[in-house]
Amino acid sequence: MIPIVDARSATFGAELRSACEEIGFVSVVGHGIPVELFERVRSSLRTLFALDDAAKAAGRITPTNYRGFIPLGFFTPNRVDANGDQRDQYEGYKLHWECPPDHPVAGECELYGPNRWPAAMPGLATTIANYWAACDAVAEPMLDAFAEELGVSPAELASWHKAPLTNMTLLHYPAQPPTRDVTGIHPHKDTNVITLLHPDPVGGLEVRSRDGGWIEVDAPPDALVVNVGEMLELWSGGRFVATPHRVTNRSGGARYSFPFFVVPNHNVTVEPLVPPIFGFNKPPMPVGPLSAEVWRTNWPNESPSTAGHDLGTLDR
């Protein structure tokens, strides 16, 4: 069972930190994002992924622009299941923080820049902007709560997110035969600080338990599921746990989700801010180069460097 905490509670920070130390996943209610906004975003995804092949091809990601449509199975060309099928059965649409063209960081990292928006959906940019702002507002007190544990001031931690590489992936998991175990996204850890996700009602998000089994996330319909990424785990010296998770769509219907990945500025190097717990020994994570490496190794025929990151850390 994933813990449920209320953002309106006086003990919210302590409860959030406790959950993130135990399993690394928590359902947050009372966060202030209206259910109607979740529904509006999910409805937009249904329209987005119903666009024809020509529209998707015109707005497709490229090696030099990590924004736009991600074709079905595109990022797993060399990973196949026992039936010879692509294992990750999702298509996506990638979005990043809208970096103003005159911002000082615009030329410092290739992942900064404007998003691409499909011409057939003129209202999508506004819908996403509204949701993005809502997620930023929810993430702020969470980061404040973590700052206390990390021994830094909330203002200092916030300064590391002024020009963030925060991003979203709009996801569509097509309907699969319910009798087949089809992996929507393979087991992995997120390579970021925290992830905010409103789970699709059809289910399918599973978290690995301490005994190696899989727990399906059963969150209230108005909750945001929040999980620890490897950057927060590293800042905390292993106290907060980045837990492997996966999506397995057994519903027999289509699934839509839109995870929001909180990432610091490109020039931040993540390393322990407090003494690591016994046995925790992971190298520093330079945010800009590591983010670029995650992107690069998603492409066919690209091998990971010694950093070992490709679409998050794989659970191999």
Q: What is the pLDDT of residues 164-211, one digit of tens each?
A: 999 999 999 998 876 666 788 888 899 999 999 999 999 999 999 988
Mean pLDDT of the chain: 91
70 forms bridges with which residues in the sheet? 92
Closest CA to 170 of 67, 32, 99: 67
pLDDT per residue as tens digits for the range 92-101: 999 999 999 9
What is the per-residue burial (b if ≥16 Cβ within 10 Å, else e) of 182-207? bbbbbbbbbbbbbbbbbbbebbbbbb
Q: What is the pLDDT of residue 293?
A: 86
The burial class, CB within 10 Å (0-12 / 13-18 / 19+), for 65 is middle
Residue 248 backbone dihedrals phi, psi, to 5 degrees: -130, 110
pLDDT at residue 307 greater than cutoff 70 = no
Domain range annotation of the chain? 13-302
Q: What is the pLDDT of residue 80?
A: 53
65 forms bridges with which residues in the sheet? 62
Tokens of 129: 């902007």
Region 153-174 average pLDDT: 97
Tokens of 190: 């997120």
pTM score of the predicted model: 0.94
Q: What is the pLDDT of residue 183?
A: 81
Region 50-78 average pLDDT: 89
pLDDT at residue 86 greater than cutoff 70 = no
- The CATH code of domain 13-302 reads 2.60.120.330
> 52: pLDDT confidence band, cut at 50, 70 and 90?
very high
pLDDT per residue as tens digits for the range 251-272: 888 999 999 999 999 999 999 9
> 76: pLDDT confidence band, cut at 50, 70 and 90?
low
pLDDT at residue 78 greater than cutoff 50 = no
Give me the DSSP letters along the chain. Answer: ---EEETTSTTHHHHHHHHHHHTSEEEEES-S--HHHHHHHHHHHHHHHTS-HHHHHHTB-BTTB--EEE-TTTT-TT-B-TTS-BS---EEEEEE----TTSTTTTT-TT-S-----TT-TTHHHHHHHHHHHHHHHHHHHHHHHHHHHTS-HHHHHHTTSSB--EEEEEEE----TTS--EEEEEEE-SSSEEEE---TT--EEEE-TTS-EEE----TTPEEEEE-HHHHHHTTTSS----EEEE--SSS-EEE--EEE--BTT-EE--SSPPPTT-----EEHHHHHHHHHHTTSTTPPP-TT--SSSEE--
Q: What is the pLDDT of residue 2?
A: 92
Residue 80 backbone dihedrals phi, psi, to 5 degrees: -125, 155
pLDDT at residue 139 greater than cutoff 70 = yes
Q: How many CB atoms lie within 10 A of CB 156?
A: 12
Q: What is the pLDDT of residue 311?
A: 47
Distance separating alpha carbons of residues 183 and 210, to the nearest angstrom: 21
Contacts of 192 (CB under 8 A, 6+ apart): 229, 230, 231, 261, 262, 263
Question: Contact, 261 vs 229, CB < 8 A?
Answer: yes
Q: What is the pLDDT of residue 87?
A: 67
Distance separating alpha carbons of residues 25 and 223, to the nearest angstrom: 12
Closest CA to 294 of 229, 228, 199, 234: 229
Question: Contact, 276 vs 205, CB < 8 A?
Answer: no
Question: Contact, 193 vs 143, CB < 8 A?
Answer: yes
> 63: pLDDT confidence band, cut at 50, 70 and 90?
confident
Q: Which residue has the higher pLDDT, 151 or 79?
A: 151
pLDDT per residue as tens digits for the range 267-289: 999 999 999 999 999 999 999 99
pLDDT per residue as tens digits for the range 208-236: 998 889 999 999 999 999 999 999 999 99
